[in-house]
Amino acid sequence: MTQLPGVGDKLPAATLAAPDGSPLDLAQFAGRKLVLFFYPKDDTPGCTTENIDFSALTGDFAKAGTALLGISKDPPARHVKFAAKHSLTAPLASDPENGGLSDALGIWREKQNYGRTYMGMVRSTYLIGVDGRIARVWSPVKVKGHAAEVLEAAKAL
């Protein structure tokens, strides 16, 4: 098994899908701090709370020179509805393909719930430094207070 990227490693190159369906290449964030927060599914209670919390701090992240990007496997059209329904300001992207970024990071994996086994996203956050290296990882994430904790880490980076 190959070693998964961790703190100090370069973030794997990846192209995601923006809510309008256009390609979103992570290389466009080169030279900036970046927070990637991965969540399981749009419009579920924990994911909605997490997105609202990050959206509430979008301006503070910008002041800290840090871009935000929320990522799930949901299709772009679902992201559009989710963002509109909850007035989200943190940008969203889709990582729909097998072998995508969440696979490369090892956070798309087998999960179990009520005796059912399925593939799912492990709620995780990555703070990327201006050098493109992973500076900090939170996985799995507890939603309460998480966005504020990530903001403090971004400010300190």
Proportion of the chain in helix, strand, coil states, percent, rounded to 5: 30, 30, 40
CA-closest candidate to residue 82, choices 48, 124, 119, 40:
48
Q: Which of 11, 36, 47, 150 is catalytic?
A: 47
Tokens of residue 3, six digits? 């070693």
Instruction: Indicate if 47 belongs to the active site.
Output: yes
Phi-psi region of 11 (alpha: psi -120 to 50; beta: other; left: phi over 0): beta
Tokens of residue 91, six digits? 């940008």
Residues facing 154 on adjacent strands? none
What are the catalytic residues?
47
